[in-house]
Every structure is written in C-alpha cells, then in structure tokens.
Amino acid sequence: MGSIKYQSDDQGRDWLQARLKRHLSELIRLAAPSMTSRLGMLALGFVDTVMVGRYATRELAWLSLANRSVISFLLVVGIGLLMGVVVYTASAFGRDDERECGRIWRRSMPYALWIGGGMLALSLPAHIWMDWLASDPVIAEESAKLVVILGLGLPAHLIFFCCTGFLEGIRRPMIPMVALIVGNGVNVILNYSLVYGHFGAPEMGAAGSALTSTLVRWILAALLLAYLWYSPTMERFGLRISHGQSWKEWARQRTIGYASAVSIGAEVGAFAGLAVIAEKLGAFILAGQEIVFNVMTVPFMISVGIGSATAVRVGISHGRGDPADTGLAGWTGLGASVIFLSFSAVFVFLFPEWLFALHSDDMRLAAITVPAIMFIAYVTVFDGGQSVVSMALRGLGETWWPTAIQAVAYLMLMLPLSWYLAVDMDRGLIGLLEATLIASIFSVVAQSVRFWWLTGREKAFENKAPQKDEA
C-alpha cells in the first residue's frame, strides 16, 4: 500500500504565511515598473483631457468622441496583436538566448509597422465613421478632424510598444520609463503652446492637443529606436542582424496576439459604444463622460500593473505543478487589487469637486459630472478586479474563456443596459456608469468562478507543502 502524507495545522499555517508573504513581495516587485510605465502613458492622455477641458467644454467633447470611439479602439487592437513580443522575449531571455531576443525584435518591428499602417489607413476616412457614429453634424465634423490628426501617430505608438515589450522582456523597464518622463515633459509644453496659443504658437484648442499627442508618440518611438540601435549594451542581442526567418516560422508568437486583440478590442469597443451613446445625449454628457473615465483610468491602470504581476506569479506556480500555490497567487493578486482600489475609491468619493476642478471650471458641466465622479467610487473596485482575474486566468494558459466572459459582460450586457438606463430611463451619465458597474460585477464574479474551478479541479486531496520554492 502507498503511504499517505499528513500535514499538521501548524505546518499548513506556516506554509500559507510563507507563501503569502512571498507572493506579496514578488507582486510588488513585479508590478512597480509595469505600473510606472502604464501611468506614464496614462499621464499623456490625462494632461490632454485636463488642458482641453479647461480650454472649452465643446472641444473636450470633440476630443472625447475622437479618442474613445475610434483611436483607442484601433490602438488597443494593435497593441493586443503585438503582445507576443513581451512573452517570447521574456522566454528567450530566461533561457539566456540573447540572439533569439534580438531576432524577436527584428521580426516584430516590420509587423508593428504593418499593423500601424493599417490602423492609420482606417483612421483616414474618419468623416465616414463619425457621420455614422454621431448624430450632431458639428460634433461629427470636428471629431473627424481630430481622428485624422491622431491617426498619424498610431504607427509610432506601436513602434514604441514593440520596443517597450522587448526591453521589459530583457528586464530593462527603466529605459521606457525614462523615455516617458521626457515625453510627458514635452507633452505639457506642447499642449500649453498649441492648445492655448502661447510662446508664439497658434491657438488650436483640441486640434493642438491632438497634434501634440501625435508628435509625442513619434518622439517616444525615436528615443527607444535610438537607444536600441546605438547603445553598446544592446550589441550582444544582435539587433542590427537580419532575423532570417520566414512568416510561418514565428506564427505561434502572432497567435498569442490574436486572442489578446479580440479580448482587449471587445472591452474597449464596448466603451467606445458608451461614447457614442453619450454623444446622443449631448455635448455636456459627452464631455462629462470623458472627465469621469479620465479619473477612473488612473486606478484601473494600476490594477492592470497588478494583474500583469499576478499573471507571472500564477504562471510560475502553475508551471511547478502546484495547484494550491497557483490558487493562492491568483487570490493574492485580486486581494491586493481590492485593497488598493478601495483606498482609491474612498479618495474619489471624498474629493469629487477637486477632481472635477482639475479638468474644468464650467459650472454647468460640474452639475452633471461631480455626482458621476462620486459614483465611480463604486465602479472602480469591480472594474479593476475583473482585469486582475482576467490576467490570472491568462497565467493559467487560458485565452478564450476570459475573452468570452468579457465580451458577454461588456458587449452583450453593458451596452444594452447603457442605452436602457441612460436614454430610455433618462438617467444620463449616471445610467452609463450603472451599466458599467453591473457589467464589471458580472465579469469579476464569472472569471473568479472560472479561476476557482480550474485551480480546484487540479488540487490534490491531501494537504501538501510545495516540493520547492522558486527564486
């Protein structure tokens, strides 16, 4: 007969405390650079919204529709298609195969340019898209102009993301962070000049902000390209050597991006739909929605950083064949997200007037927006939580389940509810947020059940300590 291993309660508690401490420390270490980079990117858009909002409410409405209905959707689909760069570079670097890291970057750069060119081509007939999406002809015309200007920066953004993915994969996240610090400084100066007409520049309003975004994206791409091409520390990766691979030879890398593009595109596409619904309710609702989501994006981006780190921790434990530790890694990430987002929610709830005042001094807009900012305190925890659980599932190797759940939550649930609550029930901006809250609760619950089921079915019946602890 085989022997059965028993573990005392004290041993179980010791294991739980040790592993929980390990997961939390590694979560912080892994999440910090990821959050910093994402907050750096977020700061670019945050400044745009603040400066245009303080310039004119109507121009903020135009910029909101341009960004949220077309540009953001094209951008995130392109980024999703390039997600394989990060995964494959990190894997090759973990094997100490530096030449393979270089090959991944060389073959991905033309791919990024091809995708960026396609996204630019889709943005050029913006007047057609905006005439379909917007009921107000003035908003449609002005937003279309901004889409074309912003579209010129899409190839640059994807080049920057490709370079950033490579650098994060070889454990050099500080380089993109430094580039973003420079980019944010340039962004503030150019926005101040081109939006308001200072330093001898023309006063362009929202168009000036859109032009600034495009210029900054090309500056960021140029900075990282220059570093990768000329830095002596990059020579060992062979970045100047042709990758010499056929299209079929790296098909698996591209496959990773397909599921990511569908998943991210579904969620962002749904939020683009919210902007279209908001436009039907008027320029003030549209401008108010831009401010509300600008505030909500800050804690969400930090939860995305926590989610990325959670995926790594889940992947390590899952790779060791330790279902108990795998589950603990996922729940630790979700718990850390809930704690952080709860503090953020309290701050938002207590200081909505101050957060609005950063963006605008329009009192008519304040009457609509301040109550909505208070309401996002309820949305924040669930919206960020669903992002973390989604990444935990991807750490288990799941691709299409989180994609399907998010598609149901945001496309099939949130959009119809948004129209019903905001338009039919005449609840305006609050109605849009109520629909977002319901969809986010569904998403986090459904994905958590999926994660619990996957880790639970693999879990052994006996309590056991892991055979080894990773470095």
DSSP string, 103-129: HHHHHHHHHHHHHHHHHHHHHTTHHHH
Average pLDDT over residues 40-46: 83
pLDDT of the residue at 380: 93
Is the model more confident about 40 or about 212? 212
CA atoms lying within 13 Å on the CB side of residue 308: 22
Q: What percent of the chain has pLDDT over 70?
A: 93
pLDDT band per the 50, 70, 90 thresholds, residue 69 = confident
pLDDT of the residue at 458: 59
Q: What percent of the chain has pLDDT over 90?
A: 48
Question: Hey, what long-range contacts does 202-209 have (CB within 8 A, 24 or more apart)?
Answer: 205/52, 205/55, 205/56, 205/59, 206/52, 206/55, 206/56, 206/59, 206/60, 206/62, 206/63, 206/142, 206/146, 207/145, 207/146, 207/149, 209/48, 209/51, 209/52, 209/63
The pLDDT of residue 5 is above 50: no
Rounded Cα distance between 71 and 462, Å, is 52
pLDDT band per the 50, 70, 90 thresholds, residue 35 = confident
How many other β-carbons are positioned within 10 Å of the β-carbon of residue 255? 12
pLDDT of the residue at 469: 46
Rounded Cα distance between 89 and 100, Å, is 8
pLDDT band per the 50, 70, 90 thresholds, residue 459 = low
Is the model more confident about 194 or about 12? 194
pLDDT of the residue at 276: 87
Highest mean pLDDT among 93-102, 134-143, 389-398: 134-143
pLDDT of the residue at 34: 67
pLDDT band per the 50, 70, 90 thresholds, residue 271 = confident
